Amino acid sequence: MPIRGNKSQPHAGLKLAALLAGLTLTAACTPAEDTAAAPTPDAAPAATQPGLPMLHVTLAPGGIDTASETQAAYIDVTLEMSGLPVEANTPFLTSPAIFAGVEAVAYGEDGVADISVSDASGPVSLVRADDDPDPTNFLYWRHWQAERDLEGLVTVTYRAPIDLVIPQLGAGPPFDLRLNDTIVSGAGNTFLVVPATPRPFMVDLDWDLSAMPDGSIGASSFGEGQVMTPGPASRLVTAYYMAGPMGHYPDDAGDHAYRAYWTDNPPFDPDTVMPWAEEVYQAQLDFFGIENPEPYTFFARANPYPGGGGAGLINSFMLSYPEDTEELDGINITIIHEMSHKWVGGVSGQPGATSWFSEGANVFYRRRVPLAAGLMP
């Protein structure tokens, strides 16, 4: 694929959304909430607006049984778009290159297969044009343009490898696409390539788990299994994904307003921690006066290295912990802190430079709310 160095002019709306998503990102604690612009008072919600273009997204994990350091497991991603004209040599697809200091999959480089695109007229050639690298190594994006106009149903496919080598995360959050035994998990900002437009879609997100072990389920920040959600494609990037024979709370987690999923054998008792976390979540809803909230998801996975942390994402958060930890008090604080990011806002400014405000306010509320509810001594 041809690559045009540093000549991209990404759509201003999407670039703004990306900046908003990264405003309060920090080393071990990374809120990345919904970045869609709020509708004007006269505008109908996206779910009721007629004529939204469709975006079908299928995630198909595979290669789990044969995964090794020389043969990676993977997630095959298929996007099918209709109802959205795409002109040649204009922004078409985008993906983070670096997000909060964490590297994303570089498709077409270092032995990773390239992105394939086709439409009603056949295969489509792409040209890549990247942002200038961020000198702070915090956030910049890759972009792809089609060499001709696209028509009809547009299909995009690519394979995201799951590297078993322990990542060099540095100060970045644990967003990396990872395999814990037979459970796959990671944040969308490390492997998803999405349409480069702020225009809302009706997103149909589904899982193909035919290559996964028996008893596997797929869940995302938007819900369990197949879900329909309106909004810009950038929401997919700021979401979390987990699939496999994972633990879940409650038993009917997919139909519950609060749900939790975790990798096997955590060093804490999930039958105690997950219901307690639901009480914290309910206390936050009561404290901040939130009525009719969207469903909320708690993801937890073990780290293959010392240390832990978390990241607030759209309608969800993820907790990472050392496999041998016994510091349950620290885990409880992290849970409260990351949940609080759902409600505690930030200030405008350069990504990574304004987190002192959101983090400082969150430190206050992570104590204030559970103390008021009697959930902490």
Q: What is the pLDDT of residue 352?
A: 64
Our separate counts of H helices and E strands in the chain read 5, 23
CB of 339 closer than 8 Å to CB of 201: no
Instruction: Tell me the C-alpha distance between 207 and 57, whole Å.
Output: 8
Q: What is the pLDDT of residue 8?
A: 38
Closest CA to 174 of 307, 362, 71: 307
Q: What is the pLDDT of residue 95?
A: 96
For 10-39+54-372, the fitting CATH number among 2.40.50.1070, 2.60.120.260, 1.10.10.10, 2.60.40.3650 is 2.60.40.3650
Give mean pLDDT, residues 212-240: 95
CB of 227 closer than 8 Å to CB of 55: no
Cα→Cα distances 98→20, 24, 320, Å? 15, 15, 20
Give mean pLDDT, residues 213-224: 96
Give mean pLDDT, residues 130-159: 92
Q: What is the pLDDT of residue 34?
A: 37
Give mean pLDDT, residues 186-206: 96
Q: What is the pLDDT of residue 237?
A: 96
Instruction: Tell me the C-alpha distance between 201 and 63, whole Å.
Output: 31
Instruction: Tell me the C-alpha distance between 341 and 227, whole Å.
Output: 24
What's phi and psi for 48, nearest 5 deg?
-105, -5
Give mean pLDDT, residues 329-355: 77
Comparing 76 with 306, the larger pLDDT belongs to 76
Give mean pLDDT, residues 6-13: 38
Question: Which residue, chain included where needed, has tokens 């972009």?
Answer: 143
Question: Which residue, chain included where needed, has tokens 């480089």?
Answer: 109
pTM metric for this prediction: 0.84
pLDDT at 243 > cutoff 90: yes
Q: What is the pLDDT of residue 265?
A: 80
Helices 355-372 and 270-288, interaxial angle, to 10°?
100
Q: What is the pLDDT of residue 38?
A: 32
Comparing 348 with 2, the larger pLDDT belongs to 348
Give mean pLDDT, residues 59-79: 91
pLDDT at 94 > cutoff 60: yes
Q: What is the pLDDT of residue 87?
A: 94
SS3 content of the chain, % helix, strand, coil (to 5): 20, 35, 45
